[in-house]
């Protein structure tokens, strides 16, 4: 354990607790040293204590006072966009690298199979949103074959897997995801929609990705998307295509057609990809794939940063 990089988590809710369990069970490079929350009765802090992890219910202020914090190099923030701004100020001043699971987007967007290698030395990296982690790889996969004039994603999640942090950040979710569709996915324009589904029993996360392209090579796009799905499955085993990729011609009278540049070659085509994300159920229920893909992506990111920095320091 002494060779592993020490990390801490701020946020003892569902996401922070699931992340703690993943680090403890799955990571070969990270060691969870501390967890900070604001609710002394939270299940997350209770579980941390059972795992012999140092805890505090005084938030980031309590975290930095813990003796164990001296060895911490990376801090995961699993709180809210508003709280993250202060957390980043405190932690960056103390020289800690921050992996941000909120939609605050103070640091560069990171979607592991698309652009992780570009930001391994950043002091703060942003994991976009659950919808972004599930769908931006697909936009990027289509964009690797042909320019995406417009990318639209619809993330449908069980309302039971949307905690107070998610509900408080709905506006940030849509804005951050749309921005990342453009900046990371490569679409000329992006739009994001989130649906909280109250169905019982709870439904597994579903995501729909629409990409407006032109002069498309159907075989090449299909191969690119299927290869990207396998890359995501390497760290999110429950990530899968729900059905075959659809290709629909967009006629001149369709409102989408106005988003196609006048000089674009060939016919306008809407590529539609339908995904399902089932969680690994390490702590959260299996239907909460939206939370699982966030914690899995954050773990993959922190592990890659740690190994990169260890190698470059030798």
DSSP states of 51-117: TT-EEESSHHHHHHHSGGGGGEEEEEE-S-HHHHHHHHHHHHHTT-EEEE-STT--S-B--HHHHGG
| CA–CA separation, 271 and 64 (whole Å) | 48
**Rg of the chain in Å (alpha carbons):** 20
Binding-site residue set for NAD(+): 12-15, 161-169, 290
Options 32, 104, 128, 130, the catalytic residue: 130
| CA–CA separation, 292 and 307 (whole Å) | 23
| CA–CA separation, 159 and 173 (whole Å) | 15
Nearest to 65 by CA among 54, 77, 81: 54
Binding-site residue set: 12-15, 161-169, 290
Q: Is 211 a catalytic residue?
A: no
| CA–CA separation, 104 and 78 (whole Å) | 11
Partners of 277 in the beta sheet? 205, 239
List Cβ<8 Å contacts ≥24 apart for 180-183: 180/105, 180/109, 180/111, 180/128, 180/129, 180/132, 180/136, 181/132, 181/135, 181/136, 181/139, 181/151, 181/153, 182/151, 183/109
Measure CA of the first residue to CA of the last residue in the chain; give whole Å. 19
Contact of 91 with 59, CB cutoff 8 Å: no
Q: Which residue numbers are catalytic?
A: 130
């Amino acid at each position: 354990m002494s060779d592993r990089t020490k990390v801490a988590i701020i946020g003892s809710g569902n996401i922070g607790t699931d992340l703690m369990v993943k680090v403890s069970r799955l990571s070969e490079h990270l060691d969870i040293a501390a967890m900070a929350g604001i609710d002394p009765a939270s299940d997350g802090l209770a579980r941390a204590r059972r795992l012999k992890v140092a805890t505090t219910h005084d938030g980031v202020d309590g975290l930095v006072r813990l003796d164990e914090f001296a060895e911490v190099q990376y801090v995961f923030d699993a709180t809210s966009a508003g709280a993250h701004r202060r957390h980043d100020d405190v932690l960056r001043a103390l020289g800690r690298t921050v992996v941000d699971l909120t939609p605050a987007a103070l640091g560069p967007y990171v979607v592991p199979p698309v652009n992780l290698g570009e930001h391994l030395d950043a002091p703060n990296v942003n994991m976009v949103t659950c919808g972004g982690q599930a769908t931006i790889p697909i936009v990027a996969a289509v964009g690797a074959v042909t320019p995406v004039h417009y990318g639209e994603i619809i993330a449908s999640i069980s309302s039971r897997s949307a905690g107070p942090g998610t509900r408080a950040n709905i506006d940030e979710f849509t804005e951050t995801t749309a921005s990342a569709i453009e900046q990371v996915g490569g679409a000329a324009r992006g739009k994001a929609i989130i649906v909280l589904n109250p169905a019982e029993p709870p439904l597994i996360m579903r995501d729909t990705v629409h990409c407006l392209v032109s002069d498309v090579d159907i075989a090449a796009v299909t191969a690119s998307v299927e290869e990207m799905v396998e890359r995501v499955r390497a760290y999110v085993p429950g990530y899968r295509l729900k059905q075959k990729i659809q290709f629909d011609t967009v006629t001149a009278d369709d409102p989408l057609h106005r988003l196609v540049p006048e000089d674009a070659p060939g016919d306008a085509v809407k590529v539609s990809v339908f995904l399902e994300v089932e969680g690994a159920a390490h702590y959260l229920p299996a239907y909460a794939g939206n939370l699982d893909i966030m914690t899995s992506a954050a773990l993959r990111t922190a592990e890659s940063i740690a190994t990169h920095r260890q190698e470059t320091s030798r």
